[in-house]
Amino acid sequence: MSIQKIMVIGAGQMGSGIAQVCAQAGFDVKLNDMKEEFFARGLGTITKNLSRNVDKGRMTESEKEAILGRLTKSLDINDANDVDLVIEAAVENMGIKQSIFKQLDTIAPAHAILASNTSSLPITELAAVTNRPEQVIGMHFMNPVPVMKLVEIIRGLATTDDVYQTIEDMTKKLEKVPVEVNDFPGFVANRILMPMINEAIYTLYEGVATKEAIDDVMKLGMNHPMGPLTLADFIGLDTCLYIMETLYEGFGDSKYRPCPLLRKYVKAGWLGKKSGRGFYIYES
């Protein structure tokens, strides 16, 4: 099938990035969120990213305006009634995502594919609340979306080969690299990344080294561009905790038990860069 119209649900950091790359690739995109201010913030982020590309000579002002012209505001989920693909990028919570997918199943055209940008939750479980499980798939983009090349494409139990191929081809049009992944908790990226971050938090919790030392070891010793505690702050400690809990629940293995310090920081509201404080303090 051919994809021309896309709705992205959630105008936050991930959703706005997904909407941007889709519009850049020539797709007509409806960017949906619940409130006007959420949409405005997302559009502001996209505009800033595109303006930076103009300043650096990567695109012209007219190309920027054409991309913005392909983006439409949506404050109503019923706007999904004429799209070919919906990419859900709402908060990482199964109950919320299932509610969205139930609604989309009744609103979106019969041919439409329903995709989730979930970073850890089972696609099969999301698909089960719809009457089109064969047309439900995972598209896990990496953050920041406009920069990172990888998209994990996750088949649910019922996802058809045609739907998979359509999404793989569309991902290539976004100038991303699709990687096929089976439906296991955390998929590949977060099943490997999050336990590493969790172990870094344990080394801080147990007093093995300071946060700066832990980050330096991984940057200078392992050639990581960012230390794991800085990366956790960037991702959001609440998101890190939720993914670790998903892994722990999904596998029942103690190696995925979230560090108590991570829980304590989240309960304190120290969520990382977005809240101004996590393992490090950030100026507003």
pLDDT digits (tens, 9 = 90+) for 52-75: 999 999 999 999 999 999 999 999
| Mean pLDDT, residues 176-181 taken together | 97
Q: Where in the chain is the domain with CATH 1.10.1040.10?
A: 190-273
> Confidence class of residue 1 from pLDDT cuts 50, 70 and 90?
confident
Structure tokens at 229: 């505690």
Active-site residue, 134 included: no
Overall size of the chain counted in residues:
284
Helix (H) or strand (E) holding 252: none
DSSP state for residue 165 in the 8-state scheme = H
Largest Cα–Cα distance of the chain, in whole Å?
Answer: 56
> What is the DSSP pairing of strand 71-74 with strand 28-32?
parallel
Active-site residue, 120 included: no
Residue 139's Cα: distance from chain center in Å?
Answer: 8
Q: Do 21 and 184 touch, CB atoms closer than 8 A?
A: no
CATH architecture of 190-273: Orthogonal Bundle (1.10)
How far, in Å, CA of 112 to CA of 117, rounded? 16
Q: Looking at residue 201, what is its pLDDT? A: 98
Whether 254 has a binding-site annotation, put simply, is no
Active-site residue, 140 included: yes
Indicate whether 158 pLDDT > 90: yes
| Mean pLDDT, residues 127-137 taken together | 98
* Superfamily of the domain at 5-181: NAD(P)-binding Rossmann-like Domain (3.40.50.720)
Indicate whether 220 pLDDT > 80: yes
Q: Looking at residue 83, what is its pLDDT? A: 98
Q: Which of 119, 134, 180, 212 is catalytic?
A: 119
Q: Looking at residue 283, what is its pLDDT? A: 84
Residue among 170, 118, 159 nearest 141 (CA)? 118
Whether 97 has a binding-site annotation, put simply, is yes
Whether 149 has a binding-site annotation, put simply, is no
Counting other chains too, the contacts that 160-167 makes at CB distance below 8 Å and 24 or more residues apart are: 160/134, 160/135, 162/1, 163/113, 163/134, 163/135, 163/137, 164/137, 166/1, 166/3, 166/113, 167/85, 167/113, 167/115, 167/137, 167/139
Q: Where in the chain is the domain with CATH 3.40.50.720?
A: 5-181
